[in-house]
Structure 1
Amino acid sequence: MTQTLGKSLELFFIDGRPDGILTAEVFNWTGHVLMTPRTRIADALKRDEAAHTGVYLLLGERDGEPLAYVGESDNIRKRITQHDVQKDWWETAVLVTTSANNLNKAHVRYLEARLVAKAKEVGRVPLDNGTAPAAMGLTESARANMEAFLDYLWMVLPALRIDMFLQHAKPKGAASVAATVASGPVFELVNKKHGLHARASLIDGEFVVLEGSTARLTWASAAQNQHSYAHMRDDLEKAGILSPQGPVCVFTASYAFSSPSAAAAIVNGRPANGRIEWHVPGTQQTYHAWEAANLAAQVPSDEDFE
């Protein structure tokens, strides 16, 4: 059995403020990430790495909806200076380069194409890009190197609260989902009043509602339409994860939520305490009770150390 090794992410807050300019690096990774608010863009672009070859993200909102742009350049400083004039909606810039400036034009075109494709696949944040670039011009070994580079980037960006590349929908027939469901634990939420039956499982630390589960057709209260879970539900419908079918919505794919309560809210169409609404099938044991029992069974007590 292969042991998964942890990785150390180093964040450096250049001006000593959590909302200012920061850099992110991982030990033994050649990549370098510089993140800056637009209000500090002049200071950020003075740094040496801003003139390196790399890819960049512009993040912000337009008409109250999130928006992003993915680009590449052999001189990011020059390209973002142009965007500062041409694009007025972005509020944050993320520059991805290498400390030794050893990416070339073919490398960053490949990275740009993969980032655009991944963002569109996930569908969480629309892109301001006009056309999707093609990933081309690299040898097999160079593509492998860039995929390894991206593996680190997929980890670093969510750590910076950039989740537009984070895939919560699980592929149909995913082996990890099938294996976990077969071995348990599986939980269910039954709402007889609205004819709902949802199943979920803990997979790699995420609470995953399983494909085929049903959810309420609409959000329950117009007065709560501004609730964050109401917006999440709208996003899931737009992405096709929730599909209206008769009197209910059906999960067309297994989907990972941050908590049992988030999952219960989407299923019930209202805020809900998922720790008591999810149960072990065929019993009255709530998720809360199951978690407490599981914790007691696995975590050593103080007496074990005496």
Structure 2
Amino acid sequence: MTRAIGRSLELYYIDGRPDGMLTAELFNWTGHVLMTPRTQIAEALARPEASYAGVYLLIGEQEGEPRAYVGEGEDISARIRSHDVRKEWWTSAVLITAAANKLNKAHVRYLEARLIAEARAIGRVPLDNGTNPTLAALSEADVAKMEAFLENLFIVLPAVRVDMFIRRARPTAAKTQPDAAPAVETSTDAPEAKRFVLENRRHDIHATAVLRDGEFIVEAGSTARGSWAGLAHHNYVGLYSELIRSGVLAPQGNHCVFTESYAFSSPSAAATVVFGRAASGPQSWRLEGSEMTYKEWEAARIEDTFEDLLGASE
């Protein structure tokens, strides 16, 4: 098993305000990301990198739902000026360029097409783009460069509050059959995934989840409440609606079914979506095959970890 390698990201708040313009760069990456609220778009477009070739995102809301637009241009500032006049819904913009203006027209057309395809495949935020552009014809070497550029970009974007390209759907783990051959051992220190269960018989809800690699993943086939029943302004109303809209939650009779496994940010986020109302994940989820709550299991796990550390230091 290959060990994950950390990355170093530098954020620079241009005017010293956390809600103002900021830039983001990764060490040893030529890409440059500028995030700006619409209220500062004039200042952003006056910056040198705004006249470079690149791609850009316009982000906002329309009729209460998130919305985004992906565009490209050999001079980003000229393209955004036209959209600033014609599109009223967006509230922030992200300008994506490369140092020394190294991207060309074919590069940015390729990046635009890939970003649109990725956003639509994930389905978290509807796009204002009317078409699906075809990939620009690039050499094999240039395709590899642009795919590497995108890999780094997808690391940077969440740091500037853009999460529309985060894939939370996870492949469904294959069930081990009784007569199946034992799995090949790939790592001696990889922790075993723990499975948890959440039930509400009144609403025909039965969900299972696994904690794997730090992600709390509700498994495909789990059932959830058929409609949101909690407070209209709850933090997770948007997430529940997003999962319905993207097809992760599919209506089936009086409830919904997870069509694919989905990684939540916390057990509480998962429990709230499954129940369709506010819920405490640590208290609601129980370790499969026992009455131990997630909270109790977590406390025991922390205690065991500290005991191991103390034992190793003696």
Please say if residues 224 and 257 of structure 2, whose CA atoms lie closer than 8 Å, have aligned partners that are also in contact: yes
Q: State the Cα RMSD in Å.
A: 2.2
Aligned-pair distance for 1:244? 2.1
1:232 paired residue among 236, 239, 255: 239
User: For the Cα contact (< 8 Å) 2:249–2:257, is it kept in 1?
Assistant: yes
Q: Tell me the TM-score normalised to structure 2 length.
A: 0.89
User: Does the alignment pair 1:253 with 2:256?
Assistant: no
Counterpart for residue 265 of structure 1: 272
CA distance in 2, matches of 1:220, 1:157: 33
Show the 5 A alignment for 1:1-306: 1-172=1-172, 183-221=192-230, 224-299=231-306, 301=309, 305=313
What secondary structure, in the 3-state scheme, does the structure 2 residue paired with 1:155 have? helix
Change (3 A) 1:174 1:16: farther
Q: Answer with 290-299 or 198-207: which moved more.
A: 290-299
Aligned partner of 2:179 in structure 1 is none
Deviates more, 1:48-57 or 1:191-200: 191-200
Q: Which runs of 5+ in 2 are unaligned?
A: 176-182
Q: What's the TM-score once normalised by structure 1's chain length?
A: 0.92
Question: Which residue identity is paired with 1:219?
Answer: W
Check the 8 A contact 1:55/1:96 in 2, yes or no: yes
1:143-170 deviation per Cα after TM superposition (whole angstroms, max 9, x unaligned): 1111110001111101111011111122
Amino acid at match of 1:272: A
Amino acid at match of 2:229: A
**Contact 1:225-1:231 within 8 A present in 2 as well:** no
Count, aligned residues: 300
Secondary structure of the residue aligned to 1:193 is helix
Is residue 208–residue 219 contact of structure 2 (8 Å, CA) maintained in 1? Answer: yes
Amino acid at match of 1:206: E
- The CA deviation at 1:61 is 1.6
Structure 1 counterpart SS, 2:203? coil
